[in-house]
Chains A and B, each alone.
Chain A
């Protein structure tokens, strides 16, 4: 499309559209290119997923050990091991290549820093020279500061206590520091200090720390008050990370780390900073723009160095651990590393949009599996929070990718907690049949040739303008972002499922299985249709192997029925086996077992009986109702309430269940309570007699529900439930939870204002006690008559 030849030819409405045709065209081209790329990738992933599941279905469960021996089985998954740079969107990749790749703080190749940063050479050199200093320094003061750290840990408030107003910072931190100083041993082996007494040294140290604090505070407040002009101060502040005075090094470093973290959180812009192209650089700009550019440049480089420092600290700690277990200064290393991890975690949460976020993810993910419980806990929490608050989905995707890579690299020898963080993903909606559509090439409404044939020129022009207009409108509505989000979510979930399926396939005996089953149950409604068959087979095998705990089996059943109640209803499978499984399991779930299993039962029941009422026979429903009410005799009150409510829902779904309320024999056979087949236990020939003891239950709500059920669950009348009926069984279960020793409903006031009379006159309630009383009286009377000796008292 060439430039317009003359103004006459252009349709008038085109004036309304301000964007040039070329630009739109380019955009469109870019997008299709991108889409194609993504689609390709997705197809590849889907293929892998399918392969994984199919394999899992076919293969018999193999213990983990066998797998461990030959880990290099597959090559197809290599994409997971690659760094996150190649998983980003194209524009992200550009940025990363420009800024991060050359001098990634992961690779730490400082000499190769690109031309982006102005004064970078000097600073790089400076960093390198610092490199040597801290380790030596820390080692020299290792002995003195051992006691310093636990205090800091216990407080655990450092990141929070530093407020935005940096002027306040020293005061707030002072208290902490005071404690640290107090705890610190005053002896110092430094030569210069040798001449001083312990007290003098201590005061000197206090003074030094105060000085440093003042410096930190002034630098910090300078930066925050005018970041554009004072970005250089950050560098000075960062220089203090290399504090060389052994008596205060650890404290000062920690302070600087935390202060810098707060400063970066404060001054980082809400957009990602991208490097300037050479043309942009060459072009002349206004003074203000120039200033902003300088600021951005400085910020990015300083942020990068700061992150590198943090990472190095962690690395030092790790290596130290391996080299010498009994290292003297281990504690101070550890403390520093913990503070760094904490800083990284809070940056992970605070600046997910900013540069280097992926690098933070890459550093933190392996730490989730760290041997140190505190560190791994911290990281797991951070990721859980990240998943929960991530609205865009991009950060989650990056994290999930790295996690999946880690899981695979470590051969599934990871903590279950790591996998459990995935449960926090905020994924509600994905493109379900995406892969199906995407595999077929997209057809345009009309290609150019057809258009040319069928439409007149004027029409074609109108059409073109319309399309353009639509596109712009879409952009304006930002509906694209939603689409993008769903795309990200789909991709994230695919990776999650890939991890899950792989574990199901390869590591069925591993400790991760419960987490996997729980995850599957959680995201079951988002699983794609084509996996159903295989997945059902795998779950069936698992559950029939008998190795699973109750809870795991319940998760399996929940997964199956969530799938079937979603888009799986087209499958038309009768999962009779799973019904029998649950039915068999029910008597084992009494109050002796963990109470939380019941909530899963309630969820399953909802999917199995209420939602699938069309596919369930009356026999089965009645058998379930009977067994549920039997079970409710043997569980904690909130579980009782939940189960009775579930029976109630079933009774409503199958009105013919009222057979269970009469005492009449229907047809032949006796009810076989112990038989584990819901279809064949003749449940029509029994009645819900257990509702009678339940009406004497100690818990008021159970009594009420039992009465309600025994009257056939009416919606009005004296036995009606009222407000209770509006809650689902699971809600009721949670509402009456007894976990915290709360009393819901509250304990009632005395039943009547009258006093009850017990016993008559002077006689006692307990006949035996009365006997003893009488007996004692006579013995005492006899004793009084005989000669008694009071002298024991007298002589006393």
Chain B
């Protein structure tokens, strides 16, 4: 199939090729996120006509990717696998004579079962015997028996495949005992059997394939590992899952030697990482991390890709309960991205560009549906994720260039629909920018967007209605019209603005340009105090103003005494460092405030939980449901286009082109495919 496509491509003229390249580039990027393929294609072709500049930009960036890849041959090979066929993952391991062996094994097993027609029923006694024998001396023969029994036990969970096994596990207590025995003792037994020393230094993993006995036992190990994966897939109770995951963690070196089993395991781990209970999530992440760390060249890229997709899939609804999970996923993803910054650059580049393309569509189309493709939780969480990644991996020459596009996308997102209903969204963006700016020591203008809120909202106007409950800005993107009339809205707004302004200024408190940075804010806050008649709002604002002014005059005073000029960057840096160490009025106040605030939040959370148990206000619930429906639709739009394109020939053609144009980026192609598998999961 692929070769046919290639030929077709060859027939194209250069221009056509470039054009189609652009088309498919956009297509591929947004494939997993964008809806109805045809519609989108239309959009893109329109865009292409409208803006040759962006097209050029894309080309330029492709070029950079090209150059980049040429130097890194190890990854090239890797890529070829991904780009050759849609079922790249399946294909990747077929180089080994893995499947043949599998078949062999199956045949042998069936022969055996034919020989011993009657299956042996496993009893508690047998398990005890095995346990004792294992303790004494694990032999390959014994291991094979246990494995067979384990396989039989696992087969019962499937319901049908039990007929082929030598053993039969009928009793639930026997099943329990057998599985427990396996996950407790098998690892140690295996290590002993293969004569593997426990690794002395943590850094290097001893692969079991290095053992001379590996060849002999490979089949049994393989069977056992498949059993564990199978078991993992059908468990539901969290403690049990954790136990098995821990076992899988131990067995990670074995999995690393068997690509097929490893792939199955990764699938299961991915499921646990994104949807499991807390402990299982952590353990799944640990296993994934281990796998990537030790076989980066094979697993890192596909796993990163899958993790990102699962992340996007799983962050479309946000509530106080889900927020920690999303947070966890962000942090663990950051860990994964820290493994190889070169690969991370490519992932981040492509995904940030994808976000930019969505935003661009929304900007040019100016329609409600296209706004929706940007103004949703998935988009915002993605922005935040990349901010987090770039901040955590800060002094990195490789990732540094990505700060610029990310900032631009976030600012563009804020400016897309700057109405009061989307203030919560704007605040999320401001938080992300503050994080990014403070931890990468980059200057990003954030204040204007906050001041605009202060400017636009009339705080003097009496609220139209009283509300029972404060609005939790952390879990909403959009305010309803009713919300805008509430008192809680304005209260919350002042609170949030206070937090955000303080937080931002805190990150800039020791900058030598602080007085200039704060000038518009000071002017604005003074104007606010002059106009505002509500004492409750004036109080925090006045406090904020005082602190900012105090800090401003502190910096002004200090820098007046400085003996260097504006051009002397090193002296300025040293000066700023010194000021930071000494502490400024604002930073002192901030740390004080932060403590209080955290306590408050803790209280709020616990209080909220209680309240939510009691009664959920009607309005809120309705909103959530609405959002769900909306999001579902969006989600469909975002992710379904790929499966659509499978059925469609024309689409396939585009995919073919895409494959060539992006042959040098490792992510583009495999991802939507593997993603389809993901949804089937």
Pick the interface stretch among B109-117, B489-497, B566-574, B607-615: B566-574
Extra contacts besides A674-B519, A696-B441 (19): CB < 8 Å: A591-B415, A636-B411, A693-B512, A696-B442, A710-B569, A743-B356, A753-B71, A756-B393, A758-B338, A762-B290, A762-B293, A765-B335, A766-B392, A776-B242, A779-B279, A787-B180, A791-B175, A792-B237, A792-B240
Given contacts A663-B560, A696-B442, A788-B243, contact A743 B566 (CB under 8 A): no
Is A661 in contact with chain B by the CB < 8 A criterion? yes
A777:B71 contact, CB within 8 angstroms: no
A693:B398 contact, CB within 8 angstroms: no
Question: Which residues in window 639-670 of B have CB below 8 A to A?
Answer: none
Is A795 in contact with chain B by the CB < 8 A criterion? yes
A673-B338 Cα distance, complex, nearest whole Å: 44
**Residue among A633, A766, A785 with most chain B CB within 10 A:** A633
Residues of A within 8 Å of B43, CB to CB, are: none
Residues of B within 8 Å of A759, CB to CB, are: 338
A673:B519 contact, CB within 8 angstroms: yes
**Residue among A748, A754, A779, A794 with most chain B CB within 10 A:** A794
Residues of B within 8 Å of A593, CB to CB, are: 452
Question: Which residues in window 115-162 of B have CB below 8 A to A?
Answer: 156-157
- Chain A interface SS verdict (over half): loop
A747-B64 Cα distance, complex, nearest whole Å: 9
Is A511 in contact with chain B by the CB < 8 A criterion? no
- Contact indicator per residue, chain B 429-463, by CB within 8 Å of chain A (1) or not (0): 00000000100011111011101100100000000
A712:B341 contact, CB within 8 angstroms: no
B519:A794 contact, CB within 8 angstroms: no
Chain B positions near chain A (C-beta within 8 angstroms): 51, 53-54, 57, 60-61, 64-65, 67-68, 71, 156-157, 172, 175-176, 179-180, 183-184, 202-203, 231, 234-237, 239-240, 242-243, 245-247, 249, 278-279, 282-283, 285-286, 289-290, 293, 331-332, 334-335, 338, 340-342, 345, 349, 356, 359-360, 363-364, 392-393, 395-405, 407-409, 411-412, 415, 418, 437, 441-445, 447-449, 451-452, 455, 508, 511-513, 515-517, 519-520, 522-523, 559-560, 562-567, 569, 572
Q: Find B408's partner among A660, A663, A688, A738 (CB 8 Å cutoff).
A: A738
Count how many pairs of residues, one from A and one from B, have CB atoms less than 8 Å apart in the complex: 288
Residues of B within 8 Å of A660, CB to CB, are: 566
Nearest to A787 among chain B residues (CB) is: B180
A231-B60 Cα distance, complex, nearest whole Å: 58
B334:A766 contact, CB within 8 angstroms: yes
- Contact indicator per residue, chain A 721-764, by CB within 8 Å of chain B (1) or not (0): 00000000000000000111111101111111111101101101
Is A61 in contact with chain B by the CB < 8 A criterion? no
- Chain B interface SS verdict (over half): helix
Query: What is the distance, in angstroms, from A698's C-beta to the closest C-beta of chain B?
Result: 4
A795-B448 Cα distance, complex, nearest whole Å: 60
Q: List 8 A-B contacts (CB under 8 A).
A: A591-B448, A744-B57, A746-B57, A747-B405, A748-B401, A750-B342, A765-B392, A791-B176
Given contacts A698-B404, A764-B335, A780-B245, contact A755 B340 (CB under 8 A): yes
Nearest to A591 among chain B residues (CB) is: B448
Residues of B within 8 Å of A674, CB to CB, are: 519, 522-523
Query: What is the distance, in angstroms, from A460's C-beta to the closest C-beta of chain B?
Result: 68
A743:B57 contact, CB within 8 angstroms: yes
Query: What is the distance, in angstroms, from B681's C-beta to the closest C-beta of chain A?
Result: 17
Residues of B within 8 Å of A661, CB to CB, are: 565-567
A747:B404 contact, CB within 8 angstroms: yes
Nearest to A665 among chain B residues (CB) is: B560
B53:A769 contact, CB within 8 angstroms: no
Nearest to B575 among chain A residues (CB) is: A692
Nearest to B358 among chain A residues (CB) is: A741
A665-B560 Cα distance, complex, nearest whole Å: 8
B397:A752 contact, CB within 8 angstroms: yes
Nearest to B286 among chain A residues (CB) is: A773
A738-B278 Cα distance, complex, nearest whole Å: 42
Nearest to B450 among chain A residues (CB) is: A592
A687:B566 contact, CB within 8 angstroms: yes
Residues of B within 8 Å of A754, CB to CB, are: 397-398
Is A689 in contact with chain B by the CB < 8 A criterion? yes
Residues of A within 8 Å of B399, CB to CB, are: 750-751, 756
Is A634 in contact with chain B by the CB < 8 A criterion? yes
Residues of B within 8 Å of A749, CB to CB, are: 64-65, 67-68, 401
Is A694 in contact with chain B by the CB < 8 A criterion? yes
Is A445 in contact with chain B by the CB < 8 A criterion? no
A764-B289 Cα distance, complex, nearest whole Å: 10
A637:B565 contact, CB within 8 angstroms: no
Residues of A within 8 Å of B341, CB to CB, are: 750, 755-756, 758
Q: Find A635's partner among B231, B289, B445 (CB 8 Å cutoff).
A: B445
A746-B67 Cα distance, complex, nearest whole Å: 15
Residues of A within 8 Å of B243, CB to CB, are: 780, 783-784, 788
A74-B274 Cα distance, complex, nearest whole Å: 78
A777:B335 contact, CB within 8 angstroms: no
A693:B517 contact, CB within 8 angstroms: yes
A787-B54 Cα distance, complex, nearest whole Å: 62
Is A413 in contact with chain B by the CB < 8 A criterion? no
B520:A634 contact, CB within 8 angstroms: yes
Q: Find B360's partner among A711, A740, A794 (CB 8 Å cutoff).
A: A740
Is A793 in contact with chain B by the CB < 8 A criterion? yes
Q: Find A689's partner among B176, B235, B559 (CB 8 Å cutoff).
A: B559
A444-B282 Cα distance, complex, nearest whole Å: 101
Is A796 in contact with chain B by the CB < 8 A criterion? yes
A664-B569 Cα distance, complex, nearest whole Å: 17
A635:B51 contact, CB within 8 angstroms: no
Nearest to A792 among chain B residues (CB) is: B237
B236:A690 contact, CB within 8 angstroms: no
Given contacts A690-B517, A755-B340, contact A741 B560 (CB under 8 A): no
Nearest to A696 among chain B residues (CB) is: B443
B447:A769 contact, CB within 8 angstroms: no
Given contacts A711-B567, A758-B393, contact A777 B520 (CB under 8 A): no
Nearest to A637 among chain B residues (CB) is: B408
Query: What is the distance, in angstroms, from A743's C-beta to the closest C-beta of chain B?
Result: 5
A789-B243 Cα distance, complex, nearest whole Å: 11
B565:A662 contact, CB within 8 angstroms: yes
Query: What is the distance, in angstroms, from B435's C-beta to the closest C-beta of chain A?
Result: 13
Given contacts A692-B512, A738-B408, contact A780 B279 (CB under 8 A): yes
Given contacts A698-B404, A756-B393, contact A710 B567 (CB under 8 A): yes
Is A40 in contact with chain B by the CB < 8 A criterion? no
A633:B513 contact, CB within 8 angstroms: yes
Query: What is the distance, in angstroms, from B287's C-beta to the closest C-beta of chain A?
Result: 11
B286:A794 contact, CB within 8 angstroms: no
Query: What is the distance, in angstroms, from B570's C-beta to the closest C-beta of chain A?
Result: 11
Residues of A within 8 Å of B411, CB to CB, are: 591, 636, 738
Query: What is the distance, in angstroms, from A330's C-beta to the closest C-beta of chain B?
Result: 28
Residues of B within 8 Å of A788, CB to CB, are: 176, 180, 239-240, 243
Is A229 in contact with chain B by the CB < 8 A criterion? no
Residues of A within 8 Å of B562, CB to CB, are: 663
Query: What is the distance, in angstroms, from B54's C-beta to the closest C-beta of chain A?
Result: 5
A792-B392 Cα distance, complex, nearest whole Å: 41
A776:B279 contact, CB within 8 angstroms: yes
- Contact indicator per residue, chain A 625-662, by CB within 8 Å of chain B (1) or not (0): 00001100111110000000000000000000000111
Query: What is the distance, in angstroms, from A551's C-beta to the closest C-beta of chain B?
Result: 15
B363:A739 contact, CB within 8 angstroms: yes
A573-B325 Cα distance, complex, nearest whole Å: 67
Report the 6 A-B pairs with minimum CB-CB distance, sorted nearest first.
A592-B452, A751-B397, A748-B401, A591-B448, A780-B246, A590-B448
Given contacts A765-B334, A765-B338, A790-B180, contact A740 B401 (CB under 8 A): no
Given contacts A661-B567, A755-B341, contact A772 B448 (CB under 8 A): no
A751:B334 contact, CB within 8 angstroms: no
Residues of A within 8 Å of B412, CB to CB, are: 738, 741
A93-B62 Cα distance, complex, nearest whole Å: 64
Is A512 in contact with chain B by the CB < 8 A criterion? no
Residues of A within 8 Å of B392, CB to CB, are: 765-766
Residues of B within 8 Å of A776, CB to CB, are: 242, 278-279, 282-283, 286
